[in-house]
Amino acid sequence: MIGRSEGDIASLDPILAVERLGGATSFLFQRFDPMTRRLCRTVAGLEVEIIGADVDFAAALRRGEPRGEPDRDSFPCFVFAGFETLVGREAVAAALPGHLILRVVEGLDIDHRIGALRLISQDPARLGMKLATLGAARDGEGPAFIAASGTVPRGHVDGPFDGWVADMDPAGHARRVDAVKDAVATGMIEGAVLSVGLSRPTAASPFALYRAFAAANPSPYGFMLNHGGAALVGSSPLAFLDLGGRRLHLETDAGTRPVTGDAARDAAAAEDLRENPKDAAEHRVVVEAEREALATIARDGRVDRVVDREVRRFSHVMHLYSALEAELPEGCDLADAILALAPAAAVSGWPKRAAAQLGYELEGTSRGPYGGIVGLVEPGRADLAVVIRSLWLAEGRAALRVGGKIVATSSAGDEYREALAKARFLVEGVAHAERVASG
């Protein structure tokens, strides 16, 4: 059953709702306006049904995808798939399963723009009463802005990265950068993404981490998935796809600069990001990779570029974005579209499969959730993000991956520093959550 409330929802804390009322498998998904960063929508699954655990991702998605026309009583399902799942590999020692399709049995859906709350439950009135008793966030749990640092690590893990262990040191990363550049020189690929893994022990909860990440870096996509004692927490800046009817919109990004907090320096950095030949080469790689993939499923092969090299600024870094759109023909379903477009060029390169294979071999480890997808599927609509700027928790340890696009003109030292700059708000968020927990 669906229950509704059109009243004041300011006192409802959905993060606390998932923490207090969520089952062993539960989720939170939030959408922020990409320009204003205002919270637009929250969907939380407190009690869920796992769909298609016995079949592959595409079959599970087709089994769980809500059908029919959108209506006031439809409710989204939650979709997660890791990198290995999307490229047809088996994950090794993964904290989370390769994919999860979750149908909401009990949960909530908030439209923050109009102050509307929908409840899904066999007893919406009872769920409403339980939510009302939660109250606001407890002292010390509310969002706290984490200021961006004006510097980034200089090629080694120090400062705020103390205690974090990297799976690739600068020298090892440099050798791998050279291997990618060799592959570019021989014409095997145009560019590839190399990622670096970081991990450390932590007692921080996924709920405290999500608060820290969403407060410090309110990216368009915020999400938290709990399953079997493990968790995925993230604040992703990048859409994998947004499908409305037959119209598919996707984004890609390449080119990064640190945000310093100094207006003049940041303006100069943004201008350099638009004009720098190396960043232009990186950006061309991901745009052409996405155009090529999208053309294979687009009606009449037509792909439109609707955003061209737009600079978007986040807490610690700024990126260069472009977006493409196409109409999908009848007979091409959501699973077909996902598998045709995966992996995202922003975490693979061009050509996608060859670049992803090379990056995977050079990294020598499973990527896990990094580079996968997460989001909501509703009747006639899908809204999925790329799993970046995220970490996962298992057995008291936090792990994350960050990467960069390597092209012919890439500098290994610059790429390593850029990767760590992308991780900085996550690392600082863990430290903040631990301080809150310790009082």
Alpha helices in 135-248 (DSSP H): 170-185, 206-216
For residue 221, give the nearest of 404, 71, 107, 386 by alpha carbon: 386
Specify whether the CB–CB gap between 404 and 193 falls below 8 A. yes
- Does residue 366 or residue 4 have the better pLDDT? 366
Token pair for residue 265? Answer: 């320096």
Quote the pLDDT of residue 3.
Answer: 57
- The DSSP string of 43-54 is EEEEEEEEE-TT
Residue-wise pLDDT for 335-361, tens only, equals 999 999 999 999 999 999 999 999 989
**For all residues of the chain together, what is the average pLDDT?**
88
CA distances from 214 to 17, 18, 210, 267 (A): 16, 15, 6, 24
Omega cis (within 30) before 160: no
Q: Which of 263-299 are b and which e, b meaning 16 or more Cβ less than 10 Å from the residue's Cβ?
A: eeebeebbeebeebeebbbbbbbbbbbbbebbeebbe
Quote the pLDDT of residue 139.
Answer: 41
Do strands 317-327 and 247-258 pair parallel, antiparallel, or not at all (unpaired)?
A: antiparallel
Quote the pLDDT of residue 418.
Answer: 85
Q: What is the mean pLDDT of residues 272-296?
A: 90
pLDDT at position 4 over 60: no
Residue-wise pLDDT for 28-82, tens only, equals 999 998 888 889 999 999 999 999 998 999 999 999 999 776 666 778 899 999 9
pLDDT at position 334 over 90: yes
Confidence category of residue 9, pLDDT binned at 50, 70, 90 = low
Q: What is the mean pLDDT of residues 389-409?
A: 94
Nearest 5°: CA angle at 403, between 399 and 409?
Answer: 160
Do strands 221-227 and 99-111 pair parallel, antiparallel, or not at all (unpaired)?
A: unpaired
- The DSSP string of 106-130 is EEEEEETTTTEEEEESSSHHHHHHH
Contact residues for 236 (Cβ-Cβ < 8 A; gap 6+): 219, 220, 221, 222, 223, 374, 385, 386, 387, 388, 389, 390
Token pair for residue 187? Answer: 């014409």
Sketch out the chain's domains with CATH numbers. 2-133 (no CATH), 159-219+249-369+389-438 (3.60.120.10)
Q: Which residue has the tokens 């863990």?
A: 430
Say how far apart CA 102 and CA 22 lie, in whole Å: 13
CA distances from 130 to 16, 206, 247, 305 (A): 12, 22, 39, 47
